[in-house]
């Protein structure tokens, strides 16, 4: 047995085989080949396999997210069959007598650079696609990658780090736990692990030969046991049983009200990043969606999602939730959530840089496309729109002007939409806290993003693992701010909620209730434990 101590990101126990997940940037060795004909066959077989995989992905996407979103896999298939692409690979194998993976990787790079240099936006967007397709081929040729995931056995994913865009693409039903070498407790990957209700560790110095080994991840201890002894395995299996029983007990709270001992009802909503999280939202009986991180829609692809594609996703979320509230946050890209095709220049300090609403107010075409999709989708349920990273009243006024322009365009084009969609903002900068009295005059609700509010208030980069000890989301400064926000919001006629991770801290629930918070939005798996806590708490008195 080998054990490693890491830092826990989410509790729980998982038992299963390890799959070392290597991201796209593999080091490809350049090898001389004698039998070039055999090497060409190897390439052709790999291409057939890739085409088949893409066909399967297309079918899956079609069923889950509709035709418009699935189309990207067809584009990838077309690229694989492109004659210029093929010719370049065959030339390298035949004329330079080099191995197929090298030929694919260098062709992928050349084509990607060529696309990136083009004037046309659409073609520039293809740069990431050709890279993606080439990486898929290389994974098949080297046998390194997610083949075991596809074979159906759920695994413990061990990796150096996982970008949010990578995590979102993993088949969640096949992941038992995440264990990474890098990453911070507050990264978006950590948030995703919480959403998926699976144990996750960071800071684990793993070894390459763990691949395929049986392991136990104990999220409460922050430990991973590789090839565990019988004693450890028995003990953890019993704990896993215990965990399952507890979860069943919580299920009894389904359908019950979120009402305190002294009779105050509050809303408990769920945070999601994708339509595939909707199942967990319904299973855990959330009263609505308090935060739909719409940027994941942009992250999981290599070109801008069109209005129609977005509309279909928002409509699906609204329809699935019936009359329950669905708060969709507009694009919050930038900082740790990067998409190549946005072509954002390198920044020294991206968390304080060109991100979220700053991009939307600068590149209004992107913003308007999303707003049009949202207003159209508003016809299909109870939708609200929320804007991230606000620092001033002027920003909100400008947003409202753009919203009016969008509505005017929809009216002019006779496109059905609701006129009175509720509009809110995230309070996640100290500036927004300090002018929250004025901001409350402009909007219908506030939702506090404690993840960023902590980062900006304490001057702690939430992505920096070295500072995890100093990242204290219930710092007295934050708690005082929360009170100010609730008071100013209410005075200005807004309802107030919290959608940052702090909302799930059950030790603080009673304090939030006493501050007057009307809504708490948490990962779907926290909904029922929070309901239990609310039902044991008091909302009035000291």
Residue 292 pairs in a beta bridge with 272, 328
446 has which bridge partners? 425, 496
Strands, sheet with 223-226, edge to edge from the N-terminal-most edge strand: 2-5, 223-226, 214-218, 13-21, 155-159, 175-180, 200-202, 7-10
Instruction: Kindly report the length of the chain.
Output: 542
| Tokens coding 149 | 């995931």
Q: Nearer to Mg ion by C-beta: 309 or 395? A: 395
69 part of the interface to ligand PEP, by CB under 6 A: no
- Please choose which of Mg ion, ligand PEP, none residue 165 contacts, taking the beta carbon within 5 to 8 angstroms, the exact cut-off set by kind: none
Q: Kindly tell me which of 395 and 428 has the beta carbon lying closer to ligand PEP.
A: 428
- Closest contact distance (angstroms) between CB of 332 and Mg ion is 6
Nearest distance from C-beta of residue 430 to ligand PEP, angstroms: 13
Element (DSSP H or E) covering residue 417: none
Q: Which is nearer to Mg ion, 70 or 190 (CB)?
A: 190
The residues, ordered by sequence, that sit 6+ positions from 46 with a Cβ below 8 Å of its Cβ are 100, 104, 137, 140, 141
93 or 299: CB nearest Mg ion: 299
Contact 201, 179 (CB under 8 A): yes
**Min dist. Cβ of residue 498 to ligand PEP (A):** 8
Q: Which is nearer to ligand PEP, 108 or 500 (CB)?
A: 500
Neighbours of 363 (CB within 10 A): 13
Please state, in angstroms and rounded to a whole number, the distance separating the CA atoms of residues 241 and 458.
Answer: 40
Q: Which of residues 159-198 bind Mg ion (CB under 5 A)?
A: none
What is the footprint of ligand PEP within residues 458-517 (CB under 6 A)? 499-500
State the Cα–Cα distance between residues 232 and 216, nearest whole angstrom. Answer: 9
Q: Indicate whether 309 belongs to the interface with ligand PEP (CB under 6 A).
A: no
Q: In this structure, are residues 56 and 89 in contact, taking their beta carbons and an 8 Å threshold? A: no
**Binding site partner of 515, from ligand PEP, Mg ion, none, Cβ cut-off 5-8 A by kind:** none
Beta strands in 440-510 (DSSP E): 445-448, 495-498
- CA–CA dist 371, 367 (Å, integer): 6
User: Which of residues 264 and 475 has its CB atom nearest to ligand PEP in the complex?
Assistant: 475
Tell me: does residue 451 bind ligand PEP (CB under 6 A).
Answer: yes
Nearest C-alpha neighbor of 368 from the set 347, 323, 398, 325? 398
Q: Which of 188, 346, 360, 475 is catalytic?
A: 188
Nearest-approach distance from CB 352 to ligand PEP, in angstroms: 13
Q: Which stretch binds ligand PEP (CB under 6 A): 29-37, 71-79, 305-313, 447-455?
A: 447-455
C-beta closer to ligand PEP: residue 164 or 305: 164
CA distances from 262 to 269, 510, 514, 539 (A): 21, 12, 11, 7
- Closest of 111, 56, 37 to residue 80, by C-alpha: 111
Task: Examine residue 452 and tell whether it contacts Mg ion (CB under 5 A).
Answer: yes
Helices (H), 81-99: 83-96
Marked catalytic residue, from 76, 360, 494, 499: 499
182 is catalytic: no
Stretch that binds ligand PEP, among 53-61, 146-154, 278-286, 449-457 (CB under 6 A): 449-457
Beta carbons within 8 Å of 36's beta carbon, 6+ residues apart: 93, 94, 97
How far is Cα 194 from Cα 290, in angstroms, rounded to an integer? 16
Considering only 300, 452, 518, 519, the residue that binds ligand PEP (CB under 6 A) is 452
Rg (CA), the chain: 24
Tell me which of ligand PEP, Mg ion, none is bound by residue 395, counting a contact when its beta carbon lies within the kind-specific cut-off of 5 to 8 angstroms.
none
Please report whether residue 449 would count as binding ligand PEP according to CB under 6 A: yes
Q: What is the smallest separation between the CB atom of 374 and ligand PEP, expressed in angstroms? A: 18
Q: Tell me which DSSP letter residue 429 carries.
A: S
Distance (Å, whole) CA 134 – CA 136: 5
User: Which positions from 264 through 303 interact with ligand PEP, judged by CB under 6 A?
Assistant: 291, 293
Please select the residue that binds Mg ion; options are 288, 449, 489, 497, rule is CB under 5 A.
449
Q: Which does 293 bind (CB under 5 to 8 A by kind): ligand PEP, Mg ion, none?
A: ligand PEP
Does 395 participate in binding ligand PEP (rule CB under 6 A)?
no
Out of 332, 395, 518, 519, the residue judged to bind ligand PEP by CB under 6 A: 332
Q: Which x/- pattern over 409-448 shows residues binding Mg ion (rule: CB under 5 A)?
A: -------------------x--------------------
How far apart CA 311 and CA 315 sit, in angstroms, is: 6
Asked about 499 being catalytic, the answer comes back as yes
Catalytic residues: 188, 499
Residues that bind Mg ion (CB under 5 A): 428, 449, 452
Q: List residues binding ligand PEP (CB under 6 A).
A: 291, 293, 332, 428, 449-452, 499-500
């Amino acid at each position: 047995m080998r054990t490693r101590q890491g830092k826990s990101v989410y509790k729980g126990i998982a038992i299963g085989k390890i799959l070392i997940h290597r991201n796209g940037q593999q080091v490809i060795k350049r090898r001389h080949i004698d039998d070039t004909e055999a090497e060409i066959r190897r390439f052709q077989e790999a291409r057939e396999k890739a085409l088949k995989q893409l066909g399967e992905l297309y079918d899956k996407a079609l069923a889950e997210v509709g035709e418009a979103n699935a189309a990207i896999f067809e584009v990838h298939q077309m690229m694989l069959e492109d004659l210029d692409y093929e010719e370049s690979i065959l030339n390298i194998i035949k004329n330079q007598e080099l191995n197929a993976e090298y030929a694919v990787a260098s062709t992928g790079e050349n084509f990607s650079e060529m696309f990136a240099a083009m004037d046309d936006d659409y073609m520039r967007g293809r740069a990431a696609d050709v890279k993606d397709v080439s990486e898929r081929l290389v994974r098949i040729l080297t046998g390194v990658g997610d083949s075991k995931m596809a074979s159906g056995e759920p695994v413990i994913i061990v990796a150096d780090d996982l970008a949010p865009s990578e995590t979102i693409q993993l088949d969640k039903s096949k992941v038992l736990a995440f264990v990474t070498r890098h990453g911070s407790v507050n990264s978006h990957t950590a948030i995703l692990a919480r959403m998926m209700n699976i144990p996750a560790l960071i800071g684990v110095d793993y070894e390459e030969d763990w691949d395929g080994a049986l392991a136990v991840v104990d999220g409460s201890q922050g430990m991973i046991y590789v090839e565990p002894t019988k004693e450890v395995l028995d003990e953890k299996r019993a704990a896993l049983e215990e965990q399952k029983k507890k979860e069943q007990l919580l299920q009894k709270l389904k359908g019950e009200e979120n009402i305190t001992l002294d009779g105050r009802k509050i809303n408990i909503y769920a945070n999601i990043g994708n339509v595939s999280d909707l199942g967990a939202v319904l299973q855990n009986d959330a009263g609505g969606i308090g935060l739909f991180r719409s940027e994941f829609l942009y992250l999981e692809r290599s070109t801008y999602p069109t209005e129609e594609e977005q509309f279909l996703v928002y409509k699906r979320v609204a329809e699935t939730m019936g009359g329950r509230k669905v708060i969709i946050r507009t694009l919050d890209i930038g900082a740790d959530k990067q998409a190549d095709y946005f072509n954002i220049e390198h920044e020294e300090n991206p968390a304080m840089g060109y991100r979220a609403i700053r991009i939307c107010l600068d590149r209004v075409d992107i913003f308007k496309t999303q707003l049009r999709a949202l207003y159209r989708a508003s016809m299909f349920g109870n939708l609200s729109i929320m804007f991230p990273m606000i620092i001033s009243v002027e920003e909100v006024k400008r947003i409202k002007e753009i919203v009016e322009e969008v509505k005017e365009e929809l009216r002019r084009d006779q496109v059905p939409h609701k006129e009175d969609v509720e509009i809110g903002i995230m309070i996640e900068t100290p500036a927004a806290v300090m002018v929250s009295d004025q901001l409350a005059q402009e909007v219908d609700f506030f939702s506090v993003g404690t993840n960023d509010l902590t980062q900006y208030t304490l001057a702690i980069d939430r992505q920096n693992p070295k500072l995890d000890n100093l990242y204290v989301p219930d710092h007295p400064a934050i708690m005082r701010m929360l009170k100010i926000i609730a008071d100013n919001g209410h005075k200005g006629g807004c309802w107030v909620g919290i959608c940052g991770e702090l909302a799930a801290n059950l030790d603080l629930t009673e304090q939030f209730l006493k501050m007057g918070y009307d809504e708490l939005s948490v990962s779907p798996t926290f909904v029922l434990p929070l309901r239990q806590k609310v039902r044991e708490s008091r909302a009035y008195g000291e």
